[in-house]
Amino acid sequence: LLTLNPLYSEELKNYLRHFSPNEPSALTDFAAALTTAPGDELQHILETIPLLKRMGKVLPMLKHEVEIARLQQTISTQVEKNLGKHQREFFLREQLKIIQKELGISKDDRTADIEAFQERLKNKQLPEAAQQKIEDELKKLSVLETGSPEYAVTRNYLDWATLMPWGVSSKDKLSLANARKTLDKAHAGLDDVKDRIIEFLAVGSHKGTVSGSILLLVGPPGVGKTSIGHSIAETLGRKFYRFSLGGMRDEAEIKGHRRTYIGAMPGKLVQALKETGVSNPVIMLDEIDKIGSSYQGDPASALLEVLDPEQNSQFLDHYLDLRLDLSNVLFICTANRLDTIPAPLLDRMDTIRLAGYITEEKIAIAKKHLWPKQLKKAGLQRGQIPMRDATFRQIVEGYAREAGVRNLEKQLSKIIRKAVVQMIEQNTDKVQVNLKNLEDYLGQPVFRKKAPLQGVGIVTGLAWTSMGGATLPVEATAVHETQRGFKLTGKLGKVMSESAEIAFSYVHANVKKYGGDAEFFNKRFIHLHVPEGATPKDGPSAGITMATALISLALNKPVRKNLAMTGEITLTGQVLAVGGIREKVIAAKRENINQLILPEACKRDYDELPAHIQQDLQVHFAKTFDDVFSAAFS
């Protein structure tokens, strides 16, 4: 024990001054005192009077102490060995640094940082103010201690400032043939949108460069707004950066935090320039209609400077505090609706509308894009799950009637998952999906073919929502003849309720003109309902629809079959223009309605529709309700 732990040698010397090593009783007590045994065990030793018995109890205690001492010695030896190794490496590194510094091979951290920042600025064209600011910061960095907090803040600032693409830009590809080929490859349909983009690129091709612009793609979910942004970037050969504005409530996300805050960072636009490495990328601002505001600021107001071609050449980020030129950036914004975008912001953007797809376009998209994509994702070949056009049509019409194709893609993915399970369980490489077994994969159809509501007092209207166009039946009935009255149901908004009251007033005043009983509405309680009751509805565009339903009720005469209409009515019977004509026409085609009544003022919007959408449609344009009456009841 003494050889393992030299600390006990002083105690041994003290013992030998008072006792002889040949006294077994004293030696046993001394040995027990050397151990680290607890007090109750030592008390037990003292209480044991017979010498041999006492020595027998002390011996195991000494052996245990020896084992502990040996373990401690092993651990100490290993720790000293490791410490010695680390100390040796540390001293060698420090010596190497000094030798390299003396030979001019290496520099200290501060010098290395400064030279790295200066190297980044070579071949970049900095404005004079930015050059001066960065030089001042470099001088400041050269006198700061590397361990100080201010050094880290200054170094981080210079890191961002020197990574900006000052004067660095990518060369645009301005071939219109290549642009059309790229757009056609990535998107089926949307010919009018492609033509609008080609026109935009043609101007750039003629001028020699595509200057910074702000495009706004508006349409229902799933129609390809984000993917069109990717295609535009690919067509131009520019770098692409996307970030979502949905739910953003802090203007610092756009303009950055000031450097005085701990953990401050530049805004998203500076981050986009850093990541792309060029001053003319394509930046997509997704979901601009869902931007918020809070006590931290209004991001929509911060975007006013960014999206104004007259101002964004001098964009000021709060963190960098330097003027950045965003005039060469192509901004592409996306939105589902326009009414939530602030008017000053909307005024700065060139709006391109993307309406929903008709059935034929959806089938083409499913066959050319969605189905091959899902097969590849599952590691399957096209021949392993063959599907005919009729099956695709049933999927579109029975399970995915929405304006976009996102739900259609989910249904195709569901078929593939179930088909793979079937392949594994049946040990086969091929599964046939057809009209007969489609319900085994997707369940009962969500939408079934049903004849539109028809009869006296029933008229089909056309509506426009953020999800695309939709048909909207309107029902009118006389409840009783005991008293006069008018009731509205269907969860109608204020504007739509007022529109219904205007329609009722006009029809009440002019029912005799259209061949009805002048006293019809004076004697009856009229109930006007717009299904479905749980869905909120608003807007003035159902005015002529409600008026026609009331006239149909008064004349006890149904309107012609396969007819739908939209338009606002006034108290004098004028038919005013409404929005969303493209979406409404597509909704009518989706429901196989081929007769439409539209306001005369919307003829221009209808004429701009692609020929394949206008095909097989008979459209009546109405200036007054007299025109509506003639078209509906002739």
β 350-353/330-335 pair status: unpaired
Rounded-to-integer distance, Cα 317 and Cα 117, Å: 20
Residue 570: predicted pLDDT: 93
Say yes or no to pLDDT of 548 above 90.
yes
Please answer whether residues 216 and 335 qualify as being in contact, where contact means their C-beta atoms are separated by less than 8 angstroms.
yes
Rounded-to-integer distance, Cα 467 and Cα 403, Å: 7
Rounded-to-integer distance, Cα 477 and Cα 468, Å: 29
Nearest by Cα to 328 from 180, 486, 171: 171
pTM equals 0.69
Rounded-to-integer distance, Cα 57 and Cα 69, Å: 19
Please answer whether residues 596 and 617 qualify as being in contact, where contact means their C-beta atoms are separated by less than 8 angstroms.
yes
CB burial readout 218-230, b (16+ within 10 A) else e: bbbbbbbbbebbb
Please answer whether residues 11 and 2 qualify as being in contact, where contact means their C-beta atoms are separated by less than 8 angstroms.
no
> What confidence tens digit (pLDDT) does each residue in 7-28 have?
666 777 777 777 777 778 877 7
Please answer whether residues 316 and 273 qualify as being in contact, where contact means their C-beta atoms are separated by less than 8 angstroms.
no
DSSP symbol at 144: S
If you compute the radius of gyration of the chain from its CA atoms, what whole number of angstroms results?
41
Query: pLDDT category, 451, cuts 50, 70, 90?
Result: low
Q: Positive or negative CA dihedral for 393, 394, 398, 399?
A: negative
> What confidence tens digit (pLDDT) does each residue in 359-387 have?
788 888 888 888 998 999 988 888 888 88
Residue numbers annotated as active site: 541, 584
Nearest by Cα to 568 from 527, 591, 597: 597
- Give whichever of 50-54, 104-108, 279-283, 538-542 has the largest mean pLDDT: 279-283
Query: pLDDT category, 261, cuts 50, 70, 90?
Result: confident
> What confidence tens digit (pLDDT) does each residue in 471-529 have?
888 999 999 888 889 999 988 888 889 999 999 999 999 999 988 888 889 888 999 99
SS3 250: coil
**Six token digits for residue 584:** 């409404």
Q: Positive or negative CA dihedral for 362, 363, 369, 371?
A: positive
The end-to-end CA distance of the chain, in Å, is 120
- Give whichever of 145-149, 342-346, 418-422 has the largest mean pLDDT: 418-422
Residue 264: predicted pLDDT: 84
Rounded-to-integer distance, Cα 197 and Cα 425, Å: 49
DSSP symbol at 238: -
β-pair partners for 477: 527
Please answer whether residues 526 and 504 qualify as being in contact, where contact means their C-beta atoms are separated by less than 8 angstroms.
yes
β 568-569/575-576 pair status: antiparallel
> What confidence tens digit (pLDDT) does each residue in 596-625 have?
999 999 999 898 887 878 888 999 999 999
Rounded-to-integer distance, Cα 594 and Cα 564, Å: 8
Residue keyed to tokens 């996102």: 406
Where helices occur in 331-454 by DSSP H, the ranges are 343-347, 359-365, 371-377, 389-399, 406-426, 438-442
Rounded-to-integer distance, Cα 101 and Cα 98, Å: 5
Residue keyed to tokens 């799950």: 385
Structural domains in the chain, sorted by start: 1-106 (1.20.58.1480), 109-163 (no CATH), 176-353 (3.40.50.300), 359-442 (1.10.8.60), 458-633 (3.30.230.10)
Verify cis geometry, omega within 30 degrees of 0, for the bond prior to 501: no
HSE-up of residue 523 (Cα within 13 Å, Cβ side): 6
